[in-house]
Amino acid sequence: MTNASGRPLDAKRAHAIAAAFRPDGRFANRWNYFYTRTKLSSDPLYPAVADALRGTHAPLLDLGCGLGLLSHTLREDGIQVPYRGVDIDAAKIVHAQRIAARAGLQGVAFEAMDLGGELPAHRGSVALLDVLQYVDTPAQVRILDAACAMLDPGSRLFIRSGLATPGWRPRVSKAFDTLAARAGWMYSPPRRYPDEALLRERLDAAGLRYEIAPLNGNTPFNNWQIVARRDA
Ligand SMILES: C[S@@+](CC[C@H](N)C(=O)[O-])C[C@H]1O[C@@H](n2cnc3c(N)ncnc32)[C@H](O)[C@@H]1O
């Protein structure tokens, strides 16, 4: 296993992207803005997804898209593939639509959907970023199998997830995710972080080529990236 490059955005780019997440009113809640700016300047996730998608043309489905931050970072990085984000949290989807419109993003769409119960039809690339821990193991398997089946040659599956590994990092990840749910920022607390063996089993069963590497950057979390592709 090799370390992924793991560099977050510099402060200037993080600030420019986060600006669209500012609230309209002077006294409105600025949490989304500060959270986004801090996340972009500390977490190497979004540049890593951009690197994996650079040069591809297939539409991207972002499963569990949250506020659609990925669509902003991709456009800022010059990656113009059609983008569709789905998330269980209908309030976040409304926000995501509003923020994308404010930023003038083209070719992006958002939709509320519970991935525990249904999976969208799609062919192309798929992003699954920090979502798997919110569903139980059978749903993790269904989501992974569906995501793998969506890949065409030339597209990518990018998964970022905590894994059920030993050490202090998994404890930090779980504590943060639990706190985020208590604070109302996450729809639900984490259920189960997937096993690396489960991920490998599903990706192998789908016949994909893939690499798994740590993606922690400057964060104390237990984050891993999996980039998978289907050979022609
Ligand atoms: C940690 S956030 C990650 C957001 C986004 N993927 C990102 O990295 O910027 C996890 C997201 O998964 C969503 N989520 C949790 N359970 C879900 C489900 N069953 N179906 C769809 N989305 C879900 C949450 O609402 C939340 O927006």
Q: Give the model's confidence band at 31: pLDDT under 50 very low, under 70 low, under 90 confident, else very high.
A: confident
**pTM of the full predicted structure?**
0.95
Does the CB atom of residue 115 touch ligand 1 within 6 A?
yes
Distance 210 CA to ligand 1 centre (A): 23
| Chain segment 65-110, per-residue pLDDT in tens | 999 999 999 999 999 999 999 999 999 999 999 999 999 999 999 9
Euclidean distance between CA atoms 87 and 155, whole angstroms = 22
Q: For position 26, what pLDDT does the model report?
A: 66
pLDDT digits (tens, 9 = 90+) for 172-189: 999 999 998 898 888 889
**Which of 202-213 are b and which e, b meaning 16 or more Cβ less than 10 Å from the residue's Cβ?**
bbeebebebebe
In this structure, what DSSP letter does residue 59 have? -
Q: Which atom of ligand 1 is nearest to the CA of 127?
A: 6
Q: How many Cβ atoms are within 10 Å of 136's Cβ, its own excluded?
A: 10
Q: Is the CB of 46 under 6 A from ligand 1?
A: no
Query: Which residues make beta-bridge pairs with 228?
Result: 157, 210
* Ligand 1 mean position, distance from CA 95 (Å): 14
What's the gap in Å between 232 CA and the centre of ligand 1? Answer: 31
Nearest protein Cα to ligand 1, atom 16 = 134
Q: Is 114 in the pocket of ligand 1 (CB under 6 A)?
A: yes
Nearest in space to 161 (alpha carbons), one of 206, 222, 115: 222
Helix or strand (DSSP H, E) at 214:
strand 209-214
Task: Inform me whether the pLDDT recorded for 1 exceeds 60.
Answer: no
Is the minimum distance from the CB of 185 to ligand 1 under 6 angstroms? no
**Ligand 1 in reach of 64 Cβ (< 6 A):** yes
* Structural domains of the chain, with CATH: 11-229 (3.40.50.150)
